[in-house]
Amino acid sequence: MLEKDIENLIAQYPEEFFPNSGFKLIGQQVKLGNCFVDLLFEDKYNRTIIVEIKRGMLSRDASGQIIEYYGLLKQQDPNKIIELILCANIIPSERRVFLEKVGIECKELGLTLITNIAKKNDYSFLDESEQKISKNEKAIDEPSAIKGNNRIWIFQANPNRYDILNALLDPALDKQGWMVNQHQDEIKQGDIALIWMSGKEAGVYAICEVISDPSFMIDPPEEEKYWTNEKDKGQSRLRVKIKIIKNLVNNPLLREELKSIRELSNLSILRFSQGTNFSINRNEWEIIKSKIDNRL
């Protein structure tokens, strides 16, 4: 799912995202000075609505961007009534409080909402053509080394601390570092890691292979930028390197679905969600793997 996909869906189906707003599209990628506004609408009260879209977590600099658009439009027509809306998959509560206090509406667009609207309207995500595979290739290929003592783990990310959605979709990060805070003596090269995003839409967002044993590492700049707090950057921490085998961001296996499966009632992360690294037994992995294979 690209940022452009969210933009296209809102442009084509505004009532699905903003019910009873009466939004009528003025333009998409509208040029203002040297800038391009994602979406411009007119609402039922004849106000101009600027909609700016960010995939993943709403960044701190997004407000400055949309305020600049506001100023450019006001220069064109000082009497125009303009409203501002920032959209993102995840909006930290403290950021929402500040933005709404200064008159910028925040609209959190969960992945479930976006994917449901896409399915309802037969919209195909732009990156899906690159991910299409034949029926004979659908099953997840386990690393050849995952035999005997090799294990399966859940590695959890807090999206308010690390912008995991954008990190998983960054083509430069098919290999990433991941902190090891639990099971330090058990996680080994060749194991499988299921990347779990916590929060409102918690679930499995990628299948990865562990490609190194744990060691102390510092994130390289291309990974470090996804930390939202400066104190998390530049830290040497016990980590492993992982390689993405299957990216599930467009169709994650969510916690609510897993909770409905009786055989997964003892799944560690469903029973106790505090932590970074969680073990999965072989039977649980086979059930989860089957669920993922069936949705590809």
Task: Tell me: do 104 and 181 sit in the same domain.
Answer: no
Question: In the chain, what percentage of residues exceed pLDDT 70?
Answer: 93
Q: What's the total number of domains in the chain?
A: 2
d(CA 244, CA 168) in angstroms, rounded, equals: 8
Q: Are residues 52 and 174 in the same domain?
A: no
- Alpha carbons 257 and 261: distance in angstroms, whole number: 7
pLDDT in tens, 72-81: 999 999 999 9
Residues 68 and 149 in one domain: no
Q: What is the CATH number of the domain that holds 25?
A: 3.40.1350.10
Considering the domain architecture, whether residues 107 and 188 belong to the same structural domain is answered as: no
CATH number, domain with residue 245:
3.10.590.10
* Start-end of H helices in 102-218: 111-120, 128-131, 164-168
Cβ neighbours of residue 221 closer than 8 Å, sequence gap 6 or more: none
* Enclosing domain of residue 279: 144-295
For residue 152, pLDDT beyond 90:
yes
Tokens standing for 116?
């449901």
Q: What is the mean pLDDT of residues 112-118?
A: 94
Look up residue 167 and give its two tokens: 């990190």
Residue 167 counted as domain residue = yes
Check: CB of residue 192 under 8 Å from CB of residue 208: yes
Instruction: Say whether both 171 and 97 belong to one domain.
Output: no
- Concatenate the DSSP letters of all residues of 47-69 into one string: -EEEEEEEEEEPPTTHHHHHHHH
- Report which of 188, 200, 197 is spatially closest to residue 155, judged by C-alpha positions: 197
User: Does any domain span residue 131?
Assistant: no
Residue-wise pLDDT for 174-206, tens only, equals 889 999 999 999 999 999 999 999 999 999 999
